[in-house]
Copies of this chain bind each other. A is one copy, B any other.
Amino acid sequence: MPRVSDMKKRLTDAALDLMWENSYGTTSVEAICERAGAKKGSFYYFFKSKSELTAAALEAEWNKNKANMDALFSPTVPPLERFNRYFDCVHDHLAELQEKCGSILGCPMLSIGSEVSTQDQGVRATVERIWDRKIKYFESAIRDAHAQGLIVAPDPQAKARALFACYHGTLAQARIQNDVGLLRDFKQTAMDVLGVKHTQAVSS
């Protein structure tokens, strides 16, 4: 069997970078190719459309982050501490990206998903699928916190979805206002949403 190529990965990486920093709509196939060092023919050898590439890029991003998520939300970590570590991790990552590109970029899945949701069911469904996986981390931590009496959450899934939505709203605001401030304050808001009894019980 013949030559092997890392072009597929280069293309998905380039696409996610550009779409995250700018948007889905303003990221042209040409620009993706240029950043990936590919010609358009190569692009269409691997993907049959920009839409399909985007779905692949989001899945690839998930696979890159999964191990880290597993570590952050390890059952060996106290449940509320998992959230603190996760929020810190995202905050630090976005702050680092801000130094490179000058902007707080928020969550690429929210930006892309909101942009294409009424027009591209493939990408929309991919975002939904990945989010369902991410929410499971929240749900499990909430269930553990409830079992330990740290919070009252008779419906962990609903609570997880609510917190997930609140967090993504905060990420979106941080992007639009280009301000990490809200992100830093979110840990407190999260504890409010979770209904934690005594705030200062959880350290960072």
Which residue numbers of A lie inside 8 Å of B, CB to CB? 21-26, 101, 103, 105-106, 110-111, 113-119, 124, 127-128, 158, 161-162, 164-173, 175-178, 182, 185-186, 188-189, 192-195
Contact = CB atoms under 8 A, between A and B. Distances in A.
- The secondary-structure label for the interface of chain A is helix
A30 to B, nearest CB: 16
A23 B116 contact: yes
Contacts of A21: 118
A148 B72 CA distance: 41
B165 A182 contact: yes
B118 A103 contact: yes
Given A165-B169, A168-B173, A195-B192, A115 B119 contact: no
Q: How many copies does the complex hold?
A: 2
Given A24-B25, A25-B24, A193 B169 contact: no
A114 B118 contact: no
A188 B194 CA distance: 12
A50 to B, nearest CB: 12
B177 A168 contact: no
Contacts of A25: 23-26, 115
B172 A193 contact: no
Contacts of A158: 185
A125 B182 CA distance: 17
A167 B170 CA distance: 9
Contacts of A195: 192
B26 A119 contact: yes
Given A114-B111, A114-B114, A182 B169 contact: no
12 contacts: A22-B118, A24-B25, A25-B25, A26-B119, A111-B114, A114-B115, A114-B172, A114-B176, A128-B176, A162-B188, A166-B193, A167-B169
Contacts of A173: 161, 164-165, 168
